[in-house]
Amino acid sequence: MAKSVTGKAQEEARAPAATRRREPLPIRKIVRRKLSDEVFDRLLKDIETGLYAPGVHIPSERELMAAYGVGRPAIREAMQRLEKLGLIVITHGERARVSQPTVADVIGQIEHAARHILATQPQSLSQLQDARIFFEIGMVREAARQASVEDIARLEAALATQAAHLQKDSARFVAADMEFHTVIASISRNGVLEAVSRAMLHWLSMFHASLLLWKGHETITLEEHRIILDAIIAHDEDAAGEAMRTHLLRSRGLFLSGNGTVHAPSPISEVEL
């Protein structure tokens, strides 16, 4: 009679370890790292831990070569990677210096990647518009809550500049439009929010200027900006948020596809923000 499955398992368990069947080891290949990767990791750690603080010069290539026991190519490749990340500044004839990048600098570094995404992934532009709506409604409510006399004067100036270019200079009209929105973001006194606002508007303007300029109906944009500004002056958060919501949803509804048909409204337009 054939042995039972349980019996076979017991028999294998009693067998010497050397004769037992072994499951194959999982494949975990050992990857040999480049020397420049090791140098990069060490320098990055020293920068992140504050050993090399912002503004401080890091050791020379010769000193690093001696400390790490590697050649010049590995040092230079690692330094170039750090420079591309905006973490150090390399000046000819001087030792590299640790930089102190701003939020705007960091966002600027993803400029090319953002443009590539927007150019190759059609849905990403629509998603960027949706993100902008959520973002700017929050920003304008904050502006209405804490805008100072000086802030309001800056908004009035941006609106006056925009009006001055009405039906005269479209490029400057759009630039003033963008300035009006970024001033609103700046009222938060938060550099991250201001940098994000500028980046969003810049990316939108590169691909669809019509999202910022409703050709032939520029006066409507000015009127909507005036309503937003009046709500900020009155420190009415709800009115400011609703005015911004109306303004941006109108702009979003004008987003045309290549065949001239209007895209279906985003789900964001169906909810209260």
End-to-end distance of the chain based on CA atoms, in angstroms?
Answer: 75
Which run of H or of E encompasses 98?
A: strand 97-98
Predicted structure pTM score: 0.66
The pLDDT assigned to 85 comes to 86
- 112-167 pLDDT per residue, tens: 888 888 888 888 888 888 899 999 999 999 999 999 999 999 999 999 999 998 88
- 217-232 pLDDT per residue, tens: 678 889 999 999 999 9
The pLDDT assigned to 118 comes to 84
Q: Give, in order, the Cα–Cα distances in Å from 266 to each of 24, 108, 126, 241, 253.
A: 52, 28, 8, 18, 9
What DSSP letter does each residue of 241-268 carry, written as one string?
HHHHHHHHHHHHHT-B-TTSPBPPPPGG
Q: Other CB atoms closer than 10 Å to residue 151's CB: what's the count?
A: 18
Task: Please indicate whether residue 168 or residue 28 has the higher confidence score (pLDDT).
Answer: 168
Q: How confident is the model at residue 261 (pLDDT cuts 50, 70, 90)?
A: very low
Q: Which residues pair with 88 in a beta bridge?
A: 98
CA distance 125 to 129: 6
